Amino acid sequence: MATYAQTNFEVECQNAEQAKNIAGLLKKHTKEEKRYDGEGVFHVNEVESANAMVYGFMSSVRYQNLEYQCELVWNFIRKLGAKSANFPFLIQGDGQYYDA
């Protein structure tokens, strides 16, 4: 059974110029849907940069796939000099249902 997950991530860069460059490359990679340096295809939405930070959104109907996508993004941006990245997950759970 698939479990939906999403993340609003943030990436810390060395400076504003690097953040703008990384944001642009993430947008380009997503738009063109091609592989860079042997990495897989990933889809990043709502990418923007502010100061030395990059912000974006990713989601998947399977949280395992989203974990993999986040690894791909990290491997891609790490090569571009990103300092750190945080991908907090919001996961849809089965939850509980009660009826009287």
User: What is the model's pLDDT at position 38?
Assistant: 53
What integer is the mean pLDDT of 61-77?
A: 88
Q: What DSSP character marks residue 36?
A: S
Q: Which residue has the higher pLDDT, 68 or 2?
A: 68
Model pTM? Answer: 0.80
User: Which tens digits make up the pLDDT trace of 29-67?
Assistant: 776 665 555 555 677 889 999 999 999 999 888 888 889
User: Which tens digits make up the pLDDT trace of 16-36?
Assistant: 999 999 999 988 877 666 555
Domain boundaries, the chain: 5-85
CA distance 1 to 60: 13
Taking a C-beta distance cutoff of 8 angstroms, is the pair 7, 55 a contact?
Answer: no
Name the residue among 46, 47, 45, 36 with its Cα closest to residue 72. 36
Give the CATH fold of the 5-85 domain. TATA-Binding Protein (3.30.310)
